[in-house]
Structure 1
Amino acid sequence: MDDKGQIGEDFVNDLAYRSFLKYWCYPGPKHENGDKKEICDLMIIFNSVLIIISVKNYEFKGNHFRYFNNTIEKAVKQIHGACRTLFSAKEVQIKHPDKEIEIFPREQIKKVFRIVINLGEGVKFYPFNQTTKNDDYVTLFDKDSFQTIIDQLDTIPDFIDYLEKREKLFKGRTTIIMPGDEFDFPVETQKEFFELRDQITNNYILISGTEKDLLSHFFKNTRNFPKALSEDSNGIYLIIDGDWDSFAAEEKVKNKAKADKASYFIDGFVQNEILKNDLLKNLTPMRLGLAKALLSFDRLTRRSIANSYFEFHDRYKDVSGLNFGRRFGDFDGVGLLLTFYTDQMDFEMINTLNNLAIESCNLFTGYKSKSMILISTNRSHRFLFAHIDKIEKYSPQHEEMIRNDVKALGWFTKHTFLHGTEKEFPK
C-alpha cells in the first residue's frame, strides 16, 4: 500500500474507532459470501439508517477538474456500486471487526446517506453535493470540515440530524463551496471556477466560506441552516467566511461546552460499565442492547440524564437503612429508570425492588415506554443495570399484584420525570 493509501486507511480506522461510532462502524467491509472485495471504505449501520462513506486521498496539484475526476467521480461510482451490492437480490454477508459474520439487514434499512470525504488539501472550491446515476444524493466533505462536524456532533443521532437537514435543503440544487480565501485565487483557479459556474444555469447556491462556517449558522439557528438558503431563487450567493472562528469564540459556545461535560457520564458509563471487555462478540444481548439504547440518545438528552443522575445520587447518598429511591423518565418511547439502594440491602432485596420499580413504571404510565433502561446505584456509584427491549402489557392478575405490592410498600403511583417537575418518589 502506498503512503496515500495508508493515510486514507488510517483516517477511516481513526473515524471508525471513535467511541460514539465504533459500535455501528464497519471499516472496509467485504462481501464475505461473494467476491470478497471491499464494498466501500466505511459503512455505518444505525437502527434503520445506513451511511456509506468513500474516502479519497488524491493529491491536489492545482488542476481542480482533474482533481474532481480523480476523487468525486470515482467515489460516487464506488458508492453507487456499494448500494447495488448491498441491495442486490442475493443475501450479503458482512463482518464487524469485533463480531462474527452477519447478514446485511437490508429489510431494516429505511434511509441511506452517501458521503464522500476528500482528504486532499489546498482545494479552493468544490461541488457541495453530487448524485449517482440513479439520482441518489451524495454529500461531499473536505477533511477539515468533516472532522469538525464529527467533533461537534459527536453522537450518531446528532450527526444523522445534520446529514438529513443538509440533504433536504440542498438536494436538487447545484451548490459550490469556496473554502479558499479570496486573495488565494490565482488566475488559473479563477478561470476554472468561472468555467464551472458558467455550467450552472439556475437554482444554484455559491457559498464563500467553509462547511465549518456553515456549521456555525446551523448551531445559531437552533440546528437548522440559514433561512436565506430556503428561499426560492434562481441563484443565491452566501458569504460566511470566518464565521466559525467568531462563533467558536463566543462565551455562550464555551458555556455550552462546559454544560455538555456532564453528558459524557453516559459515554463513560457505556464504555466502563457495560462494555468492559470491549469485544462486541462476547457481550450478552442485554448488555449490547443497553449500550445501543444509551448511545442512541443525542448529546442534549445525555446531558439531561446525567444531570438528573448526579442530582438524584446527591439526594440519596447519605440515606441508610431499608430505603429505596426511584426516578423515572420517558424519552420518545424509551423509559429510563434510576434507582438507589443502600448498603444495608442484600442483592435479593435490591433485585426484587428494582423489578417492582420497573413494573410499576410500566403499569402506572399506561405502558408509555416501549423499552426500558434501568440504572441502579448506591452511595459508592456501584452500578446494577438492565435493558428490556420490548415491553408487553401485563395480565390483569399481574397488574393487581403490582398494585398490591406498591400499596404494601407505601409507594405513590406518580413518577418523577427526568426532564419534568413532578414530585420525587417517596422513600
Structure 2
Amino acid sequence: MTESEKLLKELGELSFLRMWSHSSPIRNDNKKEFCDLLVYTKDTIIIFSIKDIKLSANGDDIVKEKRWNRKAIEESVKQIYGAERALQSNIEVIGNNKKLISIKITENTKVYRIAVAFGSEGKFDYKAGNFGSGFVHVFDEISTLLLFKELSTIVDFVTYLDDKEKFYKKCHVILEREIDQLAHYLMNGRTFPDKYNSIIFENGIWEEYIGKIEYKAKIEEDKKSYFWDQLIEHFIFHEFNGSLESNESSIEESLRLLSYENRFNRRVLSDSLIEFITNSQDSNKQYCRTSISPSNVVYIFLILDINSDPIKLRTIRRDILEKRCVVTRTIYPNSKNIIGIGLNPNIKILNGIDLIYFHLETLNEEFTQYANEIRELYGFHKNTKFAEKNIKEYPEF
C-alpha cells in the first residue's frame, strides 16, 4: 500500500468509520484489487481510486500535463467505471477482515465516483465531470484533506457531492481549487448559485472563509460533537472484536442511523447527552431524556447504574428501554425510527452501553393501545418536561 493509499484509508475510516469503509477491497472472482477505497452503507456507494504520479522531468508543460492526466486521472476514471460495472454485474467483493461485503444495488442506490490525483504540484487544473459513464469528482492533495476535514460525516460529504453534481449539470464552472468552491458552498448555507449559466470561483474564497470569526466559533462548538463519534466507534470496536452482546435489535441499522447524523446534528445530540449525563450522577436513581434530532430520529437516553449487579440490572435496563421505545413511537407519530441508549452515570467511561433500535413504519390501533397500556402501567412520560434550544451552526456574537 502506497503512502497516498494509506492516507486515503485513514481519512476514510475517520469520516465513514470502519464498518462501512473498505480499503483496497478485492474482487472475489479474480482476486484483483477492486478499487483503492470502497464505502458502502445501505443506499450509498462511494468508489475511490487514487493515483500518485510524479511529474516528468522531460518535455514541455503541455506534454507533461497530458502525460500526467492520462496516468493520474484517466486511469483512475477507468478503474472506477470498471468497479461500478462489476457491482452492477453482481461481482462479489471482499472487504474488511477478509469478509464478503453484502452489496445490494436497488433503484434507490446512489453511486459516487471519486478520483484522487496526487503529484501535480499545483500546476494543472482538475476538471470534474462525466467522462462517459457517470459524473466523476476529481480531487488533489489539498482538496482531499480539507474536504474530509470540513465534511467529516458521510451525510455532509455525500450531500456536498450531490449538490455539486446537480450544480455542474446546469452551470459551466471554472476554478483552480476545489476548496474555494467548497468555501462558497459552506458560506451560503450549503448551496450553490442557481441563477448563472457560467461561474468562476476565484482563489482566496477559502482563506476568507476560515478567517471568519463565525467559522472559528463553529470549529470550537463542533468539538463536543465528537463525543457522538466516540459512541459509534465504541460499538464498532466491539462488533469488530466479537465482544458485542447481541440482542434482537439490528446493530448495523442502529449504527447506520447514528452515523447518518451530520456534524451539526452530532453537536446538538452530544450537547444534550453530555448535559444529561453530567446532571444525572446519583447512581441510586433512574434518569431518562428524549431528544429529537433534526434528522427526525428520536433518541431515548436512559441512565441506570448496572455496576452493582450487571447481569440482572442490564436486563432490566434493556427492558425499560424497549418499552420506552414503544411508548415514544406513539408520542412522536411522525418519527418512524427510535433509538434507545442505556448508559451508566459516568461520562468518562463508555462501558456497558445498551443500544436499542425500534422501527415502525405505520401506527395502527392495536399498537397504539398496547403502547398506551405500557405507558399507563409504568408511568412513562407522565411528568414530561419539554424544552427547546435554538442552536445555530455558526454561532453569532
Q: Could you tell me the TM-score, scaled by structure 2's length?
A: 0.83
Shifted more, 73-82 versus 287-296: the winner is 287-296
* Structure 1 segment 6-155 matched on structure 2, within 5 A: 6-18=2-14, 20-32=16-28, 34-61=29-56, 62=61, 63-88=64-89, 91-98=90-97, 100-107=99-106, 110-134=109-133, 136-155=134-153
Q: 1:317 — aligned with what?
A: 281
Aligned partner of 2:233 among 253, 271, 276: 271
* Structure 1 segment 198-347 matched on structure 2, within 5 A: 204-207=172-175, 209-225=176-192, 227=193, 230-233=194-197, 235-239=198-202, 241-272=203-234, 274-277=235-238, 279=240, 284=246, 286-318=250-282, 320-321=284-285, 323-329=286-292, 331-341=294-304, 347=313
**RMSD (Å), alpha carbons:** 3.0
Please list the CA deviations of residues 298-332 of structure 1 after superposition, one character each: whole Å capped at 9, or x if unmatched: 011111111111222233334845x5433242554
Q: 2:330 — aligned with what?
A: 363
Q: Is the 8 A contact 2:51 2:76 kept in 1?
A: yes
Tell me how far 1:167 sits from its aligned partner: 1.0
Distance 1:349 1:11 in 2: 44
Change (3 A) 1:210 1:19: closer
Secondary structure of the residue aligned to 2:372 is helix
Tell me how far 1:93 sits from its aligned partner: 1.1
Tell me how far 1:281 sits from its aligned partner: 6.8
Give 5+ residue unaligned stretches, structure 1: 174-203, 422-427
Q: 2:375 — aligned with what?
A: 406
Distance 1:389 1:409 in 2: 19
Q: Is the 8 A contact 1:304 1:419 kept in 2?
A: no
Please list the CA deviations of residues 119-172 of structure 1 after superposition, one character each: whole Å capped at 9, or x if unmatched: 1132323242132323x1111111111110101111000000111111111136
Change (3 A) 1:411 1:254: same
Distance 1:390 1:398 in 2: 13
Secondary structure of the residue aligned to 2:86 is helix
Tell me how far 1:38 sits from its aligned partner: 1.8
Distance 2:380 2:174 in 1: 62
Change (3 A) 1:74 1:306: same
Find runs of 4+ consecutive structure 1 residues off by over 6 angstroms. 343-346, 392-395
Q: 2:393 — aligned with what?
A: none
Distance 1:159 1:415 in 2: 36
Tell me how far 1:24 sits from its aligned partner: 1.4
Give 5+ residue unaligned stretches, structure 2: 391-397
Shifted more, 149-158 versus 16-25: the winner is 16-25
Tell me how far 1:112 sits from its aligned partner: 1.1
Q: 2:342 — aligned with what?
A: 376
Q: Is the 8 A contact 1:336 1:372 kept in 2?
A: yes
Instruction: Give the share of equivalent positions with the same residue, in percent.
Output: 24
Q: 1:192 — aligned with what?
A: none
Distance 2:369 2:217 in 1: 49
Tell me how far 1:115 sits from its aligned partner: 0.9
Secondary structure of the residue aligned to 1:39 is coil
Tell me how far 1:373 sits from its aligned partner: 1.2
Aligned partner of 2:165 among 163, 167, 185: 167
Distance 1:38 1:385 in 2: 38
Structure whose CA Rg is larger: 1
Aligned residues: 374
Aligned partner of 2:317 among 345, 350, 353: 350
Change (3 A) 1:156 1:259: same
Distance 1:56 1:324 in 2: 52
Secondary structure of the residue aligned to 2:359 is coil
Change (3 A) 1:82 1:364: same
Q: Is the 8 A contact 2:327 2:374 kept in 1?
A: no
Q: Is the 8 A contact 1:137 1:167 kept in 2?
A: yes
Change (3 A) 1:144 1:406: same
Which residue identity does 1:407 align to in structure 2? E
Please list the CA deviations of residues 220-246 of structure 1 after superposition, one character each: whole Å capped at 9, or x if unmatched: 111123x2xx3344x54332x223223
